[in-house]
Amino acid sequence: MGRVAIVTGGTRGIGEAVSIALRDMGLTVAANYAGNDARAADFTARTGIRAVRWDVSDHEACMAGVADVEAALGPVDVLVNNAGITRDGTFMKMTYQMWKEVMDTNLGGCFNMAKAVFPGMRERQWGRIVNIGSINGQAGQYGQVNYAAAKSGIHGFTKALALEGARVGVTVNAIAPGYIDTDMVAAVPGEVLDKIVAKIPVGRLGRAQEIARGVAFLCSEDGGFVTGSTLSINGGQHMY
């Protein structure tokens, strides 16, 4: 039996590209989504990839969802924590609810999903976890205290969990995308987006497939000596 992967937020944007890339590598993929049933049904019709619904901010839902996937498809060998939301606003206008929703989904979702799959990966002595961070978790962004904090937390989470998995064949890495041509970025006002693109040395937005190729390498057999790393794919917008 081939390897099984779960991609959270896997039916649209970067997640969709990742789901397709892993499928094309020969993995059996389950693409998690939070609530857009019509979009998920269209995704499955186009790709043949199973879509599975649960909220990654809900710990018990994650445990149950992973158990259902494993019962249907087999043990999960690859986890891509891609699900993320924004609730933007300056700190003075940011409510606790805006903070909590972003932290619970973007960072809490990584914990919840890893908690569900990590023990099995350790037992089988093989696993790949890739967490999708952000350039804004590295450099910060005005009006995104919640999002930047959550994404920055992902990078620390990645390093610490990598240390626990390293000797049992489980790698844990992150990718920090820059501005990618997805629905989330499309929601940015045009004049703001023009200013963002002007600051990207390669002179364009990234493509979801470019992030997916990075994820695919980290999830492959060839990526076995890479762990605890954050791969920045941002067109040169932020270097350190």
* d(C-alpha 78, C-alpha 81), whole Å: 10
Report which of 72, 51, 68, 71 is spatially closest to residue 60, judged by C-alpha positions. Answer: 68
- Pull the structure tokens for residue 212: 């997916």
Centre a 10 Å sphere on the Cβ of residue 239 and count the other Cβ atoms it contains. Answer: 9
| Buried-exposed string 208-231: b where 16+ CB fall within 10 A, e elsewhere | bbbbbebbbbbbeeebeebbbbbb
The residues that are catalytic are 147
Please give the distance of CA 107 from its chain centroid, rounded to a whole number: 10
